[in-house]
Amino acid sequence: AQSVTQLGSHVSVSEGALVLLRCNYSSSVPPYLFWYVQYPNQGLQLLLKYTSAATLVKGINGFEAEFKKSETSFHLTKPSAHMSDAAEYFCAVSGRYSSASKIIFGSGTRLSIRP
Amino acid sequence: NAGVTQTPKFRVLKTGQSMTLLCAQDMNHEYMYWYRQDPGMGLRLIHYSVGEGTTAKGEVPDGYNVSRLKKQNFLLGLESAAPSQTSVYFCASYEENEGNEQFFGPGTRLTVL
């Protein structure tokens, strides 16, 4: 069984500050992990994904995430927040060899940026 | 290349009315999905399809029906709308290959009065 937990439904940071959005997963098989971003009134857009190559994954808009097997985590970071980063972020997990229906999404974290 | 499109973008229904949401993708993907998004609950899978002519139930299928008569289209139907079906509905498509991501449409905002 797979699951994903996003810690913090709402995170607020100042412009220029570090962004850290937390995601922990549970999977009985080696996972694939994804971060999606949803801007207001839009669909979900892929930020980055982990598919077992490098454990540090770089995505669009300066975001990156590190896969830590020992901590079952895949936290999303950005060194310096920009106002345009305000959005909702979803972590998702799927397992190797599992069907495409088994892509599980977290409940989302809303990121607000303070001027 | 439009990706995944959804029709309509917004709709208001009265309780008991019916409607169909259309999802279309031009990427020749085999898999298509319908999700609903509600505050604090993330995305919940309603139904999905693994190919033309096939459908399967997801996590929250009650009150919805789907059809996949053509590979590029996936229809979501509400036969008798209820206020609990007020939500934002997203369609997604996926090409089966390990590690691939889903591609999402822009969403349909449905309000049932």
**DSSP string across A49-112:** EE-SS-SEEE-GGG-EEEEETTTTEEEEEESS--GGG-EEEEEEEEETT--GGG-EE---EEEE
For residue B40, the chain A residues in CB contact (below 8 A) are: 9, 107-108
Question: What's the pLDDT at A98?
Answer: 56
pLDDT in tens, A43-93: 999 999 998 778 899 999 999 999 998 999 999 999 999 999 999 999 998
Query: Mutation test of the interface with chain B: which of A74, A105, A109, choosing the one with the most B Cβ atoms within 10 A?
Result: A105
- Residue A101 is nearest to which of B4, B45, B106, comparing CB atoms? B45
pLDDT in tens, A18-37: 999 999 998 877 788 999 99
- Residue A32 is nearest to which of B45, B96, B99, comparing CB atoms? B99
| CA distance linking residue A111 with residue A57, whole number of Å | 20
- How many CB atoms are closer than 10 A to CB A96? 13
- Residue B42 is nearest to which of A32, A96, A107, comparing CB atoms? A107
User: What confidence tier does A100 reach under pLDDT thresholds 50, 70, 90?
Assistant: low
pLDDT in tens, B9-53: 999 999 999 999 999 999 999 999 999 999 878 899 999 999 999
List B residues 16-75 in contact with A (Cβ-Cβ < 8 A): 31, 33, 40-43, 45, 48, 50, 56, 58
For residue B96, the chain A residues in CB contact (below 8 A) are: 100
8-state DSSP, B73: E
User: B96: nearest CA in chain A?
Assistant: A100
Kindly determine whether residue A51 and residue B102, on different chains, have CB atoms separated by under 8 Å: no
Per-residue pLDDT at B68 exceeds 70: yes
User: What confidence tier does A96 reach under pLDDT thresholds 50, 70, 90?
Assistant: low
